[in-house]
Structure 1
């Protein structure tokens, strides 16, 4: 331990809450660092090849498979009927709620990552706000952060598309990066940045049919159209990448969270490959199959960034997550040598818009499914510890 720096011990203390950094590691083992978009990855999460498998590596270079949960917001504790809980237990403080409820529960359930905190609180509207830097520090465990470069999510119905060729687009990207990345650039618990949630590159949904997709799929019937989409997507990914790297040299770029069950032209993916470190997907249909296909096509690490199986209760209103589906899916993802994690489309606590969560509005856990998820998470954690 004689060569361990003071920073190593400080960093280890920050990460100890996630259960993977109890003492500083001074040896690197059999891991091989991968080439990433990071220009200064030392002391931060990065990617490695371990025994032929892609894995995240912690700041101390321990192999890490991201077991995340998405959508963490105290909205249901602010309903009129529950407001007394919010005031009495947490003093109206989000930081106290994170420290006393969120972090302890996630760790006891075996999750080691917060995938994306923002939550739907009113259907088809924008999600709730992200955590602040202080709230992430209160969490004291690894997390990912979404950068709002575009609001072209397939579920969002209000926002027009940007012109990626315009000066306004460049200025907006720089504003987003300096607003978010400048504040997070030296945070060791940050894994990396997502972009849009299910961007509508060439598809649309009924609620946003008025604006159409970013690019008209009919134009892909010609070589000129394919070339134009590749050029447009390259502008998008290069501009966002460059904006991030002006303010943050350290963290991974996790890119758009593509909808795996919607059309996704290779022109878009090929444009992204030089400017992102991971291909991220939402998939509520067949994530094991689709992630294996995308890794095989590209050779890129893949992340199941948003997925869930849902069981419908008899009353039909609340629809809890399916713990057995989660367990089976997580186990199957082990067979994909490119998969670096699985983030459950939670939520942490159900509300009247999402209508599912591992806790109900009174903070009672969905015990059956939570126990199944906890066992599955522990199995993956043990697998990483013993095999890598």
Structure 2
């Protein structure tokens, strides 16, 4: 049963899908279907819609949108001793200039239509770099998603204890995060929505953080009492985060945690999340085509491949290239998945000495072979969308 405290609205999700791309919701039931989202006021912002059985993002102007994003965009990658002169002389030491003169033009030239998530690896198994400021997002001037640091339970992070999601201290922290991030971003039309934790360890761990264990002991799921307790804990987490965001931002989509598709994901967690989020988001470096199809069919809600890459062999010493052929195949398959609203590549924009891969090297030279394959794949999807939704 849908909780009565979960404020939802009904949107005409078709929004001109296939019936002329009008900027107002259609009333013709043959062209639009009712879609529930967590948004209180969606007009003028990204939302969700359906044409037949296919989910799409809908732009603030009412057009169908399949997000093709690049993740991990950090100006510190251009501030090593060997390339610091580029930063100072070419961009005047200004992040805003770098975004306007390098990041945005390159992403658009490569066919990407979204920045999936800017934060980047700093050193291995450490916290990510900072997010963009609102002024930096405005300099970008293209759609983007933003991660809210509600919890530090990432599967790759080895330093932080788990938070107690029932505690008043954590609830106060959640409100602080929401008012410090969401209140500032609430009116931004280019913002698609908010992610929460990156690969949270709800019922799994990794060797480097085995000392803290998972958020919830998976052995307790063997009993009804344990399953009920996890449902209650996860419901508290998702209700608290949802309510805090909606105090400060009525408009944007809730993209939720970015689950690791190749680790155990308890249905108690997913079912607790569903009333309070709009999309199921995943990281998947093994079989995203299969897994996203399974999760959409299992839950009935739209899915997003929020972080993934196919990695080629080693080259140039320890640096590793992306795999443009893998990207092309994966993007095409996901665009054809009726439940998938997009794919964000685990780039990064420019390689650093921690992640060791990027579409640009440290001297701003592109990984030409793979970038060209990605550009062609992105352009095919863009052309296909134009053909599918002609005026």
TM bucket by the smaller chain? Answer: over 0.9
Equivalent residues in 2 for 1:1-388 (5 A)?
25-26=22-23, 28=25, 30-32=31-33, 34-388=35-389
For residues 246-272 of structure 1, the C-alpha deviation after alignment (integer angstroms, 9 at most, x for no partner) is: 000000000000000000010000000
**Equivalent residues of 1:305, 1:344 under 8 A apart:** yes
Structure 1 residue runs of 4 or more that deviate by more than 2 Å after TM superposition: 24-33, 313-316
CA contact under 8 A between 2:66 and 2:335: conserved in structure 1? no
CA distance in 2, matches of 1:93, 1:77: 11
Q: CA deviation at 1:51?
A: 3.5
Q: Which runs of 5+ in 1 are unaligned?
A: 1-23
Post-superposition offset of 1:32: 3.8
**Cα-to-partner distance string for 1:167-226 (whole Å, 9 max, x where unaligned):** 011101100000000000000000000000000001001111111110001101111100
Aligned counterparts of 1:320 and 1:95: Cα–Cα separation in 2: 27
Q: Deviations over 1:41-67 (max 9, x none)?
A: 000000000242100000011000000
Q: Is there any run of 5+ residues in structure 2 with no aligned partner, and where?
A: 1-20
CA distance in structure 1 between the aligned counterparts of 2:321 and 2:365, rounded to whole angstroms: 13
Distance 2:377 2:350 in 1: 20
CA deviation string 1:39-97 (max 9, x = no partner): 00000000000242100000011000000000000222111111101000111110000
Task: Spell out, residue by residue over 1:7-60, the C-alpha distance to the aligned partner (whole angstroms, 9 max, x if none).
Answer: xxxxxxxxxxxxxxxxx9445563445210000000000000024210000001
Q: In structure 2, the residue corresponding to 1:56 is in which secondary structure?
A: strand
How far apart, CA to CA, are the structure 1 residues paired with 2:267 and 2:168? 26
Alpha-carbon distance in 2 for matches of 1:136, 1:240: 23
After superposition, give the CA deviation of every residue in 1:106-134 in whole Å (9 maximum; x if it has no partner).
00000000000000021111000000000
Count, aligned residues:
365
CA gap of 1:333–1:26, structure 2 versus 1, over 3 A, is closer
**Aligned twin of 2:18:** none
What secondary structure does 1:187 align onto? Answer: coil
Instruction: Tell me the residue number matched to 1:16.
Output: none
Q: Give the match's secondary structure for 2:275.
A: coil
- Tell me, yes or no, if the aligned pair for 1:350 and 1:356 is still in contact at 8 Å: yes
Residue by residue, what CA displacement relative to the aligned partner does 1:123-159 show, whole Å, maximum 9, x if unpaired?
1110000000000000000000000000100001111
| Structure-2 separation of matches of 1:189 and 1:362 | 30
Structure 2 length-normalised TM: 0.92
8 A contact 2:335–2:341 mirrored in 1: no
Question: Offset of 1:335 from its aligned partner?
Answer: 2.6
Partner of 1:7: none
